[in-house]
Amino acid sequence: MRELFFAMMKEEWRLHATMFGSLSFALFPVLIGTITFMGSLARPFLCEVIPGPALSFVVHAQFLLLGVMVGGFGLLGQEVMNRRFGQASLIAYSSRTLPLSDRRIFTVFVVKDTVYYFILWILPFISGTALAAPWSGIPFSIIGTITLTLTLSFLTGLALVFLLSTIYTRSLLLVAGVIAAGVLLAVLLLVAGPADPVYLFPPYALSRAFSPGLLLYSLVVVAVPFALAILFMTTEYPGSEKHFPDRFTPLVSRLTGFRSGPMVAKDLLDLRRSGGLVGQSLFSFALPLALIWVTLVVLARVLPSTPVLVNFAGVAGIIGATTYTWVTEFDAIAGYTFLPLGTGDLIRSKLVTFLFLQPLTVTAVLAGAVASGDYGSLLPATVLALSVSLYAVSVMVWLTGLWPSVMVYDARVLAASVVLVGPVLLGLIGAASVNTLYAFGSLGLLFPAYLFVRASYTRWEGWEKAFT
């Protein structure tokens, strides 16, 4: 077990280090720690606006969201590993060649992911918080508690999505049933039960009032989904003969107005046939946005004047921009080298496919308007979400080209992305919070977005590094 664990850790490191260099990847935790240090220094000022418990909830919710986004292995395992690497290329898929069971390998994989992302994300966050403690007003005595509760928040998201992903490989309807049952149970507990709603998020409840009972409750919430995921997991995706009618030709005929119509048609069909459109929409889009919505609703109770829909629209625009990764991470770019196409042509086609996915962003804002009842802000919120999404994706394309998924851990790329997108998003949300009509000012982002995209064509045209 120990040898397998260290082999997986080395594999994970080499995979990321090979993609964008050992130094850049090694600096990523340093960057996280630095950002946390500066954010902790601003805590006294933030607490004048946002009460401490609400701020703590936001931080714990972010680590829950991190666990959710990292935990898509069951889904991505089927799509990425089969389409890009083959089932036996990574240790997680080596049960055929090693005298080890799938469950044993997956158990070690879970432990590896926990340790790996603890070092990559949680430890730098705690280090930055501890270093800033003398000036931020955070007592050293609670650093240990924060370390535990943030780790449990991450593991809660990881465990839940591991379980949902495992169920997803068997039945999409079963996933919908499990989620519906969970939501119904939560609603019943909130309506009929005398318990505090924070107990629906055990790590946060533990951070508020540490007790052995809450600690046991938090551990059970993590352990049970992990155990079920390991019990029912599989890395076997047996091939089956499938017959598809020719949808490519009629789809291309509808896209004749686009220069990259055939490649866009291929991307859309790939997403549909692989199940990625449904799975990614659920795990990488709807679930994170649902968690963000809950966070904003909680904050709105503390700050009633906060326009929830406008804030949600800005964040939805950022999440909407990540749909660009859906059409790049599952595609082996090397296959295009045999075609008379340049990198700019591929980027252009991926961006067109990205535009076809933006109704998801509009749907998210519409759902937010229905949930909040704020229909008067629907139009400016939609404009804000789409403008932010287009600007954020243009920055992503300029910084990462066709490889956003693998370059996200490059410290320089992350820092540049934060600098180029963060202040713009905060400024627009702040202005729209004063008057929702100011959200229409986000249309001004379309011009720099156009410039970023144009620059990316030449920036990546001569790129020869093999992300294949």
CB 461 within 8 A of CB 343: yes
| Mean pLDDT within 176-192 | 76
The confidence score (pLDDT) of residue 468 equals 45
Query: What six digits make up the tokens of 11?
Result: 């594999």
**Identity of the residue numbered 218:** S
Tokens matching residue 229: 């995921």
- For residue 40, what are the CA distances in angstroms to 36, 132, 140, 333, 461? 6, 6, 13, 41, 41
**pLDDT tens-digit profile of 138-165?**
888 899 999 999 999 999 988 888 888 7
Mean pLDDT of 42-56: 73
Give CA separation, 128 vs 139, 223, 339, in Å. 14, 29, 48
Burial 198-228 (b: 16+ CB within 10 A, else e): bebbbbbbbbeeeeeebbeebeebbeebbee
The whole-chain average pLDDT of the chain stands at: 80
CA gap 449, 178 in Å, rounded? 40
Q: What is the pLDDT of residue 463?
A: 58
Q: What Rg value do the Cα atoms of the chain yield, rounded?
A: 22
* Local structure of residue 307 (DSSP, 8 states): -
**Is the pLDDT confidence value at 342 over 60?**
yes
Contact status, residue 378 vs residue 365, Cβ threshold 8 Å = yes
CA 327 – CA 317 distance, rounded (Å): 17
Q: Is the pLDDT of residue 18 over 90?
A: no
Question: What is the CA 300 to chain-centroid distance, rounded?
Answer: 23
Judge contact between 149 and 60, C-beta under 8 A: yes
Backbone φ and ψ for 330, nearest 5 degrees, come out as -95, 5
pLDDT at 359 over 90: yes
The residues spanned by each domain of the chain are: 1-238, 247-463
Q: Is the pLDDT of residue 266 over 60?
A: yes
The single-letter code of the amino acid at 11 is E
Lowest mean pLDDT of 68-82, 220-234, 390-404, name the range. 68-82
* The two structure tokens encoding residue 161: 């999505």
- Which of 42-56, 233-247, 269-283, 364-378 is most confident? 364-378
Ranked by mean pLDDT, the top range of 67-76, 251-260, 272-281, 335-344 is: 251-260
Do 394 and 450 touch, CB atoms closer than 8 A? yes
| Structure tokens given for 304 | 């009633």
Residue identified by tokens 């804030």 is 311
Query: In this predicted structure, what is the pLDDT of residue 82?
Result: 47
pLDDT tens digits, one per residue of 65-97:
888 877 764 445 444 444 444 443 567 666 667
pLDDT digits (tens, 9 = 90+) for 418-429: 899 989 998 898
pLDDT of residue 384: 95
Please, is 249 exposed, middle or buried when counting C-beta atoms within 10 Å of its C-beta (0-12, 13-18, 19+)?
Answer: exposed
In Å, what is the CA distance from 360 to each residue of 273, 396, 424, 468? 18, 19, 22, 29
How far is residue 408's CA from residue 28's CA, in Å, rounded to a whole number?
A: 9
Name the least confident of 229-243, 364-378, 439-453: 229-243
DSSP string over 111-164? HHHHHHHIIIIIHHHHHHHHHHHHHH---GGGHHHHHHHHHHHHHHHHHHHHHH
pLDDT at res. 454: 92
More confident residue, 436 or 405: 436
Rounded Cα distance between 97 and 397, Å, is 39
Who wins on pLDDT, 259 or 365?
Answer: 365
Is the predicted pLDDT of residue 275 greater than 90, yes or no? no
Question: How many other CB atoms sit within 10 Å of the CB of residue 107?
Answer: 19
Query: SS3 letters for 149-206?
Result: HHHHHHHHHHHHHHHHHHHHCCCHHHHHHHHHHHHHHHHHHHHHCCCCHHHHCHHHHH
- Most confident range (mean pLDDT) of 127-141, 271-285, 437-451 is 437-451
Q: How far apart are CA 8 and CA 167, in angstroms?
A: 24
pLDDT on residue 131: 93
Q: Is residue 465 over pLDDT 50?
A: no
